[in-house]
């Protein structure tokens, strides 16, 4: 969950001028390991918006199942998923520089080569860099819930976003969301249930059981200790 470093009043005044983004920028201190990740890992694993549409088969040197994670935070889950599935390719998008550095440092330390990273806004990546039907999965874990009613319009999961994701998923591809805010989970259900071209993979109720392939993060464990619930949703592109 990402907090703004803008004064609240200033952020509120400018909110009507902004498009919905996948993040709110915050400041953060860089450790030596994170800086190493940026210095050594970004030239090797980093991708840019300026490069435009990407041929990921060429980037990874193979054709493989492909997953994109929006907002990977400190990279813990993405690193674990990539290490557990070396036969798959992963693309991570995150604007928080210490988090980008931490993931890249992990890739260097574990000698992983099946991850590429966009250190920028996911909306721009989806619009400009990914071809139609290029993803097998898209992951959105614990996005900012914007819990105040007047901020609900800033939530990333909206009808237009659902259709943008659908365009990038292959037929049969899965959009997997997770949140520890029940109200946001209910909002996700409302948006996705009526989104054209999707089918819920839930069997009993609107949510799926906690998937084994989603690693448990420090953030989630802390929430569990505080008594927070976690809701997982999976919607498959059917046409």
Active site residues: 144
Question: Hey, which residues does 232 pair with through a beta bridge?
Answer: 178, 208
* Residue 227 neighbours by CB distance under 10 Å: 6
Q: Which residue has the tokens 């259900």?
A: 189
Q: Which of 70, 114, 76 is nearest to 95 (CA)?
A: 70
What would the two tokens of residue 210 be?
Answer: 């906690």
Query: CB of 2 within 8 A of CB of 74?
Result: no
What would the two tokens of residue 33 be?
Answer: 């390991």
* E strand or H helix at 182: helix 182-193
Cα distance between residue 213 and residue 148, in whole Å: 31
Q: Which of 135, 79, 126 is nearest to 107 (CA)?
A: 79
What would the two tokens of residue 163 be?
Answer: 């259709």
- Cα angle 131, 136, 142 (rounded to 5 degrees) comes to 100
């Amino acid at each position: 969950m990402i907090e703004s470093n803008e004064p609240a009043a200033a952020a509120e005044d400018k909110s009507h001028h902004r498009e919905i983004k996948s993040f709110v920028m915050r400041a953060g201190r860089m450790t030596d390991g994170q800086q190493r990740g940026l210095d050594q890992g970004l030239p090797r694993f980093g991708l840019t918006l300026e490069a435009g549409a990407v041929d990921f088969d060429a980037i990874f040197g193979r054709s493989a199942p492909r997953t994109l994670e929006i907002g990977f935070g400190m990279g813990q889950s993405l690193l674990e998923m990539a290490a557990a599935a070396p036969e798959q390719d992963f693309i991570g998008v995150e604007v928080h520089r210490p988090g980008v550095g931490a993931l890249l440092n992990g890739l260097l330390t574990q000698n992983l080569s099946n991850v590429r990273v966009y250190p920028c806004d996911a909306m721009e990546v989806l619009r400009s860099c990914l071809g139609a039907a290029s993803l097998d999965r898209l992951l959105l874990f614990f996005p900012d819930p914007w819990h105040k009613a007047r901020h609900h319009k800033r939530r990333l999961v909206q009808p237009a976003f659902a259709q943008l994701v659908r365009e990038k998923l292959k037929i049969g591809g899965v959009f997997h969301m997770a949140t520890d805010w029940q109200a946001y989970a209910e909002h996700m259900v409302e948006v996705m249930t009526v989104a054209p071209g999707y089918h819920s993979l839930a069997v009993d109720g609107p949510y799926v059981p906690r998937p084994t392939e989603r690693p448990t993060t420090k953030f989630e464990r802390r929430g569990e200790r505080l008594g927070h619930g976690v809701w997982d949703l999976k919607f498959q592109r059917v046409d």
